[in-house]
Chain A
Amino acid sequence: METQTTSELLESLLDGADQEAWRRFDERYRPILVGFAASLGLSETDSADIAQETVSRFLKSYRDGKYDRTKGRLRSWLIGIAKHCIGDMNANIRRRREIHGLSAIQALPDDARLTQIWETQHLQALIRQALAELRRDTRIANRTIDTFEMLALEGHKPAEVARRLNVSLNDVYLAKHRCLKRLRDILDQLRQVYDLDTIG
């Protein structure tokens, strides 16, 4: 698992030549931004574009020294940039729609709601990463993880999973228990890596 915290990553980002730091930052926040934009109703392609643009603008403003870690959370900063990017896009759509006499597009939700959406997306990204991590855990058999995923990710009832995999109901609950316990540990570690309690 990655161990470099977001704070450390931001430190390395100041070094313009550190491509690796840049890649990691992008890898870490871009999926969240894509999900964030998609939750606001943007299409898949638009969301990817907004994410790309936000990450690029962030890097620029960060290296220009505009983001002060002590004064605000990274999250708020990224949401703010994403809002601008979406705003710019919306302004253009609105202009076009007005020309054609169509109604204007919807305004963005308020900041509290945006933060909520961000948190959901962030959690989703963390969970995805944790699930990948779980798969790499050699102490847990693939079969156990399959059982768990069928239950937790595909939404089957325990009895149904037991029937399909031809195991006992208790085995299903055992798999669920073991995997979720491990997942919680992984998520705790990831929260630390993302500095969620301080700046993330």
Chain B
Amino acid sequence: MQFNPRNTCPELFVMEAHVRGDPYDETVESHLRECHSCNELAREIKANNDLMTEIARVGVQNKGVPVAGQSLDVKSFSIPGLRDLAPLHQGGQGIVFRAYHVATRRTVAVKVLLHGKWATSKQRARFIREAELVATLRHPHIVQLFDRGVTPDGLDYFIMGYVEGVRLDEYMAGATVASHEIDKSTSIRRPRRIARLMSETCKAVNYAHQHGVIHRDLKPGNILVDADGHPHVLDFGLAKQFAGGAPPEDRPVTITGEFMGTLLYAAPEQVRGESDLADIRTDVYALGVIMYELLAGRLPHRDTSSAAGLIESITRIEPMAPSRAAAEASSTSVKRASPSHKELDAIVLKALAKNPDQRYQSARDFGDDIDNFLTGNPVTAKADSAWYLIRKFARRHRVAASVSAVFLMMIIGFGITVSVMYARTLRQTERVRYIKEFLEDMLASAEPAAAGSEVTVRDALDEAAHWVETSLVDQPDLEASVHLIIGNTYRSIGVFDEAEAHLSESLRLRRKLNGDEHLDVAECLSGLALLSRAQGKYEEAERFAKQALAIRERLAGPRDVLVGRSLSSLGSIYGEQGKFDEAIDALNRSLEIQRFIHGERHPDVAMMLYRIAELESRRGQSDRAFQLNREALDIRRGTLTSRHPDLARSLLATGRILFQTGELVEAEGLLREALVIRRTNVDRDHWSVAEAMSALGRCLAARRQFDEAEQLLTQSVQVFDKSLSNCDPLRVETIRSLVGLLKSRDELELASDYELQIANCASEKKVSG
């Protein structure tokens, strides 16, 4: 006995245990009948526990409390390893110092971030990963990030290269270089000089994009121009974290100075909140705004007086040509734009297209087109509107493609003819891209899932294959791209021989054109890997996938989406060969990339966790599998609809492991949920419904709920009879459970009927083995 019930109130931990009902203590119970204050305490403990449960349910974790209003005493500030700190610039994010780096004996710039601590350790970890990635960038026009760290006060800082130069906005304001930048007689800025500066900037930004880093906050304040007029881009990656990803509690007021400053260079999709679309083309847009500002001497937005006006301008109002804006702004009379101005106008306006699909698709394309202007070649921007119309036509008619094969072929024929004629006017790289996009649009309906379209697609493919053989012999680049698309499409509808012929031809042409080290070669190899896997030639598939992966890692950078795709494919191939260690390693690396791209809680991340769990389970690591399945389930619950098939998969996988480990109550709950989802998604006779019924049935049998268990197992065997082979492991497993159940219920005759079926399977297996 832990206390005397008559005269002493129980200690708090005894009361806690009592309220939990664990262990039940009669003496406390009798004390409570007499003691009012202990009754009150019990009620409070219960209310407390309810709050604890709520806290756990809503998922509040530690370190969730932001530190508000932090400021920095610049004079007494110090960072180990640096001396002579001199403040250069203070902005919303932090303070930039110039400093002397003692170890390397060089002058550096240090940026100290003033935003408080991080909301979660995961956010922080991602921030650090991002910074590490940025630190790998080496480009003459990107300010290098050398190191990062945390000050004794807990503030993040970055040590960067120090560039002697002026910020682009100051440069534009003409404080330093106006005398040689602006032609005062006409007040029109010298376009060639600006074009060169922008071309270099585009190349630097493109380099970062190729390494998986998007800036997302390009603006004149983030570009330094050195004494020779070369640009140096600052703050890669940091902006991405702080413009969009910082803990919201720490972020400053919206629609005031700093936000407006960022908004001036924000793309329509960012302003509209369609942030999923914020990709490398968002940077292209910002570069377009910067170039416009350089050329016209003012921003492209009509109304910058208020946030609402600015948003309206960015999202809806087409900017006037920069040459006209410059002329209007000058005091002299409006001059007619020269042809070269028209070309630059076209380039800038293309970069500023409201729809990202109509912009340059990369900073490289933007830079290349500026180079076209500089070298006197035709600029692609001017031809763009015609192409837009053609693609729009193709897309509109693709919908009808599954309706009539004849019509589809007509469209293909027309589309190909027009696009090839059109493409002839373009440079080689542009041409290939356009044709490729056109065919992809056309053949997108070739997914077998597009109901009833298989024959049509086959016809369309044969037509396209014939066309490529006859029309493209003198254009190997284009021919290689088209072979790849056709090959992949044949594979997707299961016509393997044709697929192989086209993919091999594409690879041969690619290697001849580009050598072995090229991303296009890797794409062909990936296609061949998928094909070999579909054919069950796993060793070959592995070889192709490894080659593709190696090329992509070297050329696209280790965190690129392409590398993730290669690793995922390689993981499947390993898995199918039973090489679980290698498979898990590959998928883990792919998982890391998915997390990098999408964040922790994303269906793609869950899918990868689920696939790894499957492999862990197959190699007998059920604890690990359980943990991963749980994680996947948790993400899927939070990110998918309550009836999503992937959610059912996770429920089933997790429920099964719980069942195996004897956690029957929890297992039953998950398996029931899985069954409900499957019943709503597919026919009752579908094997996947039976799969869930079988799992639940076995769990219920173990819980001694025999009636329902028998019903479920019997029903699932009936469905399996229709959809699975007699000796399918799932069916055998189910029957075995049913037999055990029937025997325990003394239904021996029925049990032996079923048993006979299993016996047959076992013997068949022995014979074949």
**Residues of A participating in the B interface, judged by any CB pair closer than 8 Å:** 19, 22-23, 26-27, 30-31, 34, 38-46, 48-56, 60, 85, 88-89, 92-93, 96, 98-101, 106-107, 109, 113, 120-121, 123-124, 127-128, 131-132, 135, 149, 152-155, 158, 169-170, 172-174, 176-177, 180-181, 183-184, 187
Q: Which of chain B's residues 209-240 have a Cβ closer than 8 Å to chain A?
A: 240
Known: A26-B253, A109-B641. A181 touches B44 (CB 8 A): yes
Q: Are A177 and B12 in contact (CB under 8 A)?
A: yes
Residues of B within 8 A of A (CB): 11-13, 16, 44-45, 47-48, 51-52, 54-62, 64-65, 123, 240, 244-246, 248-249, 251, 253-256, 269-270, 272-278, 307-308, 311, 357, 395, 440-441, 443-447, 598-599, 601-603, 638-642, 644
The binding surface of chain A is classed by DSSP as: helix
Q: Nearest chain A CB to B266's CB is how many angstroms away?
A: 10
B48 touches A181 (CB 8 A): yes
B60→A127 contact, CB < 8 A: yes
Cα separation A39 to B634 with both chains bound (whole Å)? 11
- Hey, which chain A residues are within 8 Å of B54, CB to CB? 123, 127
B51 x A180 contact (CB < 8 A): yes
Q: Are B44 and A177 in contact (CB under 8 A)?
A: yes
A40-B639 Cα distance, complex, nearest whole Å: 5
CA distance A172 to B13 in the complex (A): 9
Q: Are A177 and B244 in contact (CB under 8 A)?
A: no
Cβ-defined contact, A152 with B52, below 8 A:
yes
Given contact pairs A45-B240, A155-B56, A187-B51, a sample of 19 additional A-B residue pairs in the complex whose CB atoms are under 8 Å apart: A30-B248, A31-B248, A34-B248, A38-B601, A40-B639, A41-B603, A53-B272, A56-B254, A56-B311, A89-B276, A106-B641, A106-B644, A120-B57, A124-B58, A131-B65, A149-B62, A152-B55, A153-B64, A176-B48
Within the complex, which residue of B58, B61, B251, B274 is in contact with A89, where a contact is CB–CB below 8 Å? B274
> When the two chains form their complex, are residues A170 and B62 in contact, meaning their CB atoms are under 8 A apart?
no
CA distance A157 to B440 in the complex (A): 57
Report the bound CA distance from A101 to B256 in whole Å. Answer: 41
Knowing A45-B275, A127-B60, A176-B48, the reply to whether A52 touches B65 (Cβ < 8 A) is no
15 contacts between A and B (CB under 8 A): A22-B253, A41-B601, A41-B640, A44-B599, A48-B245, A48-B246, A56-B311, A88-B273, A89-B273, A89-B276, A106-B641, A128-B64, A131-B64, A153-B62, A174-B12
In the bound complex, residues from chain A placing their C-beta under 8 Å from that of B440 are 100-101
A33 and chain B: residue at smallest CB distance: B248
* A177 and B307 alpha carbons, distance in the complex (Å): 49
Given A49-B270, A100-B444, A101-B445, are A92 and B276 also a contact pair (CB < 8 Å)? yes
Query: Measured between C-beta atoms, what is the minimum distance from B698 to chain A in Å?
Result: 31
Residues of A within 8 A of B445 (CB): 101
Q: How far is the CA of A83 from the CA of B357 in the complex (A)?
A: 25
Q: Which residues of A contact B52 (CB under 8 A)?
A: 152, 176, 180
Cα–Cα, bound, A127→B51 (Å): 10
Q: Quick check: B45 and A177 within 8 Å, CB to CB?
A: yes
CB of A157 to closest CB in B, whole Å: 12
| Closest chain B residue, CB of each to CB of A38 | B601
Consensus secondary structure, chain B interface: helix
Q: Are B123 and A44 neighbours in the complex by a CB distance under 8 Å?
A: yes
Q: Is the CB of A27 within 8 A of B249?
A: yes
A43-B598, A52-B254, A56-B307 known; A173 vs B275 contact (CB < 8 Å) = no
A92: contacting residue among B60, B253, B274, CB under 8 A: B274
Which residue, A120, A131, A173, A183, has most C-beta atoms of chain B within 10 A?
Answer: A173
Q: Does the CB pair A184–B48 fall under 8 Å?
A: yes
Known: A88-B273, A173-B16. A43 touches B599 (CB 8 A): yes
7 residue pairs, one from A and one from B, having the closest CB atoms? A41-B639, A53-B273, A101-B444, A49-B275, A180-B48, A45-B244, A124-B58
Contact in complex: A43, B602 (CB < 8 Å)? yes
A33 CB to nearest chain B CB (Å): 8
Contacts of B603 in A (CB 8 A): 41
Are A106's CB and B273's CB within 8 A? no
Q: Which residues of B contact A174 (CB under 8 A)?
A: 12
Check B395–A177 contact: CB distance below 8 A: no
Our pick among B45, B65, B245 for the contact of A132 (Cβ within 8 Å) is B65
Q: Which residues of B contact A52 (CB under 8 A)?
A: 254, 273
Whether B275 contacts A131 by the Cβ 8 Å rule is no
Judge whether B11 and A170 touch: CB under 8 Å. yes
Q: Residue of A at shortest CB range from B45?
A: A177
A57→B269 CA distance, assembly (Å): 15
A53 CA to B526 CA, complexed, in Å: 40
Contact (Cβ within 8 A) A49 B62: no
